[in-house]
Structure 1
Amino acid sequence: MKNTFHYNRFRLGRIWALALMATLAGCARYQPAPLHPGASATALLGRRLDEPALGQFLAAMDVHPRGHWGLRALTLVAVYERPDLRISAAAYDAAKAAVTTARQIPNPTLSLAPSFNATQAFPSPIKIGPVISFLVSNLGAREAGIAAARDRQQAARILIAAAAWRERSNVRNALLTLWLDERIARIKARVAGYAATASRLVAQRVTSGMLAETVLASTTEAANKASFGAAEARAQIGMDRARLAAAIGMPAAALRGEHLSFIAFEHPLPPANLVALTRTALVTSPSVVAAYENYRAADASLRKAIDQQFPGFRIGPGYHYDQGANKFILSLSLPLPILNQNQGPIAEALARRQLAGALFDRAQAHVLRQIEAAEAALQGSGRVAGQGRHLLVIAHQREQQAIQAYRAGASGRLRMVEAERQAILVREQALTADAQQLRALAALADALHHPVFRESHV
Structure 2
Amino acid sequence: MHKLFSIIIVVNFIGLGLTGCARFQEVPLQAPATMLNMEARTLSDAGLYDFMVAALAKDSVWPLKSWNIDQLSLAAFYYHPDLALARAQADTVDAANMTAAQRPNPSINPSTSYLTHIATTAMPWYALGNLNIPIETAGKRGFRMDKAKHLSAAAKLRIKETAWLVRARLRLAMLETYAAQEAERLLQRQLGIQQAMSVSLEQQFSAGEITRLELMRTHLALNQLQLNSSAAQKRTAESRVLLAAAVGLPVTALSGITFDFSDLAKPPVLERIPVRDLRSIALQQRPDVLAALADYDAAQSALQLEIANQYPNVQANPGYAWELGENLWTLGALIQLPVLHQNQGPIAEAEARRHEFAVRFEALQLRILGDIDRADAGVAAVLSKWQVAEKQKQLQQDNLQSAQALLQAGEVDRLALLSTALENAIAERSHLDVLIETQQALNTLEDTLRFPLASTLTTTQISDSVLRKTSP
What is the TM-score with the length of structure 2 in the denominator? 0.91
Q: Which residue of 2 aligns with 1:446?
A: 447
Deviation at 1:71, TM superposition (A): 1.8
Secondary structure in structure 2 of the residue aligned to 1:327: strand
- Which amino acid in structure 2 is aligned with residue 48 of structure 1? T
Aligned match of 2:159: 160
How far did 1:82 drift? Answer: 2.8
The question of whether the paired residues in 2 share the 8 Å contact of 1:85 and 1:164 is answered with yes
Q: Tell me how far 1:275 sits from its aligned partner.
A: 0.9
1:304 positional shift: 0.8
What is the deviation of 1:263? 2.8
User: Could you tell me which of 77, 80, 83 is aligned with 1:82?
Assistant: 80
Question: Partner of 1:4 in structure 2?
Answer: none
CA distance in 1: counterparts of 2:46 and 2:451, whole angstroms:
32
Show CA shifts across 1:257-295 (max 9, x none): 111112333464546321110011001111111111101
RMSD: 1.8
CA apart distance, 1:88: 1.0
Pick from 12, 15, 21 the counterpart of residue 6 of structure 2.
12
Task: Give the aligned residue type for 1:393.
Answer: Q
Matches of 1:199 and 1:58, distance apart in 2: 53
CA-to-partner distance for each residue in 1:415-442, whole Å, 9 max, x for gaps? 1111111111111111101101110111
Unaligned runs of 5+ in 2: 458-472
Q: Distance in 1 between matches of 2:139 and 2:322?
A: 38
Per-residue Cα deviation, 1:225-271 (whole angstroms, up to 9, x for no partner): 11221221122111111111111111111111111112333464546
1:58 aligns with 2:57: no
Tell me, in whole angstroms, the C-alpha distance in 2 between the residues paired with 1:401 and 1:72: 42
Q: Does residue 425 of structure 2 align to residue 424 of structure 1?
A: yes
SS in 1 for 2:318: strand
Structure 1 residue 338: Cα displacement = 0.7
Deviations 1:209-230 (A, max 9, x none): 1111111111111111112212
Measured after TM superposition, the shift of residue 74 of structure 1 is 1.5
Give the secondary structure class of the aligned counterpart of 2:133.
strand
**Residue 192 of structure 2 corresponds to which residue in structure 1?**
193
2:277 pairs with 1:283 = no
Distance in structure 2 (CA, Å) of the matches to 1:179 and 1:81: 22
Question: Equivalent residues in 2 for 1:260-271 (5 A)?
Answer: 260-266=259-265, 268=268, 270=270
Q: Which residue of 2 aligns with 1:125?
A: 124
Cα deviation, 1:386-436, whole Å, max 9, x if unaligned, reads 111111111112212211111111111111111111111111111101101
Question: Would you say how many aligned residue pairs link Structure 1 and Structure 2?
Answer: 450
Tell whether the 8 Å contact from 2:10 to 2:110 is kept in structure 1 after alignment: no
Using the TM superposition, give the Cα deviation of residue 118 of structure 1 relative to its aligned residue in structure 2, in angstroms: 2.0
Q: Distance in 2 between matches of 1:279 and 1:120?
A: 87
| 1:93-104 paired onto structure 2 within 5 Å | 93-104=91-102
**Unpaired runs of at least 5, structure 1:** 1-6
Secondary structure at the counterpart of residue 328 of structure 1:
strand
The answer to whether residue 201 in structure 2 is matched with residue 205 in structure 1 is no
Q: Which deviates more, 28-37 or 65-74?
A: 65-74
What is the match of residue 307 of structure 2? 306
Provide the residue aligned with 2:348 in structure 1. Answer: 347
Determine the C-alpha separation between the residues in 1 that align with 2:213 and 2:14. Answer: 100
Q: 1:392 to 1:202 in 2, by over 3 A?
A: same
The correspondence of residues 43-54 of structure 1 with structure 2, limited to 5 A, is 43-54=37-48
SS at 2:220 equivalent: helix
**1:366 CA drift (Å):** 2.0
TM-score, L = length of structure 1? 0.94
Distance in 2 between residues matched to 1:222 and 1:306, nearest whole Å: 78
Q: Do the aligned partners of 1:371 and 1:447 also contact (CA within 8 Å) in 2?
A: yes
Task: Provide the secondary structure at the position in 2 that maps to 1:47.
Answer: coil
Instruction: Please say which of residues 133-142 and 24-33 is displaced more in the overlay.
Output: 133-142
Contact 1:392 1:430 in 2 (8 A): yes
Contact in 2 for aligned 1:78/1:248 (Cα 8 Å)? yes
CA–CA distance in 1 between the matches of 2:352 and 2:122? 62
Alignment check: 8 A CA contact 1:384 1:433 kept:
yes
Shift of 1:123: 4.2
Residue deviations 1:352-411 (CA, integer Å, cap 9, x gap): 112211211122122112211211221112211211111111111221221111111111
Instruction: Write the letter of the residue equivalent to 1:376.
Output: A
Question: What residue is the counterpart of 1:294 in the other structure?
Answer: 295
Deviations 1:180-201 (A, max 9, x none): 2211211111111111111221
* Residues 112 and 125, structure 2, Cα contact 8 Å, conserved in 1: yes
Partner AA of 1:120 in structure 2: I
3-state SS of paired residue (1:263): coil
The answer to whether the Cα contact below 8 Å between 1:71 and 1:455 also exists between their aligned partners in 2 is no
Query: How far apart in 2 are the matches of 1:81 and 1:233?
Result: 29
Q: Which amino acid aligns with 1:40?
A: T
Whether 2:435 is the aligned partner of 1:434: answer yes
The alignment partner of 2:363 has SS state of helix
For each residue in 1:89-124, what CA deviation from the matched residue of structure 2 results, as whole angstroms up to 9, or x when unmatched?
Answer: 111111111111111100012112433232234744
The one-letter amino acid of 2:114's match is F
Given that residues 193 and 418 in structure 2 are in contact (C-alpha distance below 8 angstroms), is that contact kept between their aligned partners in structure 1? yes
| Secondary structure, counterpart of 1:135 in structure 2 | strand
Aligned-partner residue type, residue 190 of structure 2: V
> Partner residue of 2:106?
108
